Amino acid sequence: MDRWPFHTFRGQRGTFMRVTAANWHTVKKRVLEIEHKSFVRSIQESDRSLTRLALSPSAIFLVAFVAQETLVAYVMADELEQFDDVPGVKSDPHFGRKDTIYLSSVAVEPEWRGRGIGVTAEQEVVAIALRQGYSRVTAHIRSSARLGDRLSRKVLGTFSNWYDTGVPFDYVDLDIGKVARRPGVRVHG
C-alpha cells in the first residue's frame, strides 16, 4: 500500500494512504467506526455511500495513520457533480463544469482531535485536487469552524439547520491557491 508522510503544524507525525477499490476492504470497518463516533446520525454517511465514494475513480479519499498502523482519521472528496443531492451544490456556479472537488467529510477519532490531523488532511486533498487539474475545492463546514491561516474560505451560502442538527453550516470555496503556495507542499496524486 502506497503511503506518504505528514507532519502537522502541531507536531503530529503519521502517514496518509489513498483509499481505492483495491484497498477499501482493509480500512472500511475502521472508517465506519470513526464516522459513527464523529457525526450525529442525521449527517452520518452510510456504509453504502462510503463504499460508493471509495470505488469512484475521481474520488480523493485518504486515511491517516499514526504510530505505523493506527488509523485515526479520514477525509473524502469527489467531483462536485457527485453530490447533487447536497443542499447548495446544484446552485454552485461551477456545477457541471467538472472543475471542482467537493470535500464531503473529514473525521478524526475523538482522542486524536486537536493535533492538526484534520486540517492537514484537508490541505492534502486540496493539494491533490490542484495536481489533478481542479481549480476549486468546496465544502460544507460548521459556520463556527476556525481554520486559522492554514486554510481560508469564501462563504458561498449558509444553512441555518444543517440536516436537522440545529447547527448552522456554510457552503464554502476553499482557497486552493493558498495551499499551493505553502512552503514545502509536496503533492501526492
The secondary structure of 84-145 as a DSSP string is: TTSTTTTTSTTTTSS-EEEEEEEEE-GGGTTSSHHHHHHHHHHHHHHHTT--EEEEEEETT-
pTM higher than 0.85: yes
Q: According to the model, what pLDDT value does residue 3 have? A: 92
pLDDT tens-digit series, residues 15-48: 999 999 999 999 999 999 999 999 988 899 999 9
Domain segments of the chain as ranges: 3-180
109 within 8 A of 67, measured Cβ to Cβ: no
Q: Which CATH class is domain 3-180?
A: alpha beta
pLDDT confidence tier of residue 179, bands split at 50, 70 and 90: low
Residue 177: pLDDT over 60: yes
Residue 104: pLDDT over 60: yes
Rounded Cα–Cα distance for residues 61 and 56 (Å)? 9
Residue 13: pLDDT over 90: yes
CA nearest 118: which of 131, 103, 108? 108
Residue 151: pLDDT over 70: no
Question: For residue 128, what is its C-alpha cell?
Answer: 491533490
62-76, 118-132, 134-148, 173-187 — which is least confidently predicted?
A: 173-187
